[in-house]
Amino acid sequence: DFAALSGQYFDMWMDDLHTVQPFEITSEWQVYMALDWGYDNELVCHWWAIPPSGAHIYCIREYVETHKLSPVAGAEINAINESMFGLNYIRDNRIKYMVADPSIFAAGGQVAKTIADDFIQALTAKEADSEGRKRRVMVVPGDNSRVHGWSVFRNMLAIQPDGLPFAMWFKTCKYAIETIPTLIHDDHKIEDLDTDGADHAADADRYFFVERFAPKKIEEKKPWVDLKDYVSRMTWEDLAKERERVYGRNRGVDLPVAQIGV
């Protein structure tokens, strides 16, 4: 009874709504992979599918292993892709990309090669195309902003107007179904969840949810960028900096540029 779990983090989880019986995923669906790395802890890879309507998303398969070296795990994940989508799945663009644990992109010690490189190599086509290039599944680092990520995760679990949650898991994804509802709040950082729990499936899904569905930060275009005259551009930039300095000193008093002497 997950409802009775003290401090349950995802208290909106309902097995009868958030899990579904598997069904066929046709070629019109977009498929993505999400990976949370672990060696002593669980390594989790999830496959997420989005229908053409975009009304809901489904976790259609999972891969969970421990004490598995990254080249071996990569080869096994590639074999799963071939079994689901055919030997030419890379050429046919059946997997859009993999969003992965950002820690695997860091090289350790004197080793220049990263764990991410092993997955990239495993997800690269063996044969070159007509132009001599080897196509591959793009592997990108996930955003590890935890509190923001869990907020996005909750939105994915939310019930939509049709009475179903936006994100659902195939009942064959047993590790995710068993662990996600058991996660609890961190006692010291209430907006985060307790990392002592089995959060590996949740982490993999969090990387995907943030990458694919969270609003992207848009850097504000500075007004002086389009000025061609160097002096005018620098003058406007200096005015802006001085305005920020004065505003910071007189917090709460928003002074117009015209009142600031340079």
Strand partners, 31: 49, 95
Q: How far apart are CA 46 and CA 34, in angstroms?
A: 5
Mean residue pLDDT of the chain comes to 83
- Residue-wise pLDDT for 133-150, tens only, equals 889 999 999 998 888 889
For 41-59, the pLDDT digits (tens) are 999 999 999 999 999 999 9
DSSP H helices in the chain: 15-18, 70-85, 115-122, 146-157, 174-179, 200-213, 230-249
Q: What is the pTM assigned to this prediction? A: 0.78
Which residue has better confidence, 61 or 184? 61
- The b-or-e profile of 92-110 (16+ CB within 10 A means b, else e) is eebbebbbbbebbeeeeee
Give the chain's end-to-end CA distance (angstroms, integer). Answer: 67
- 9 or 170, which is more confident: 170
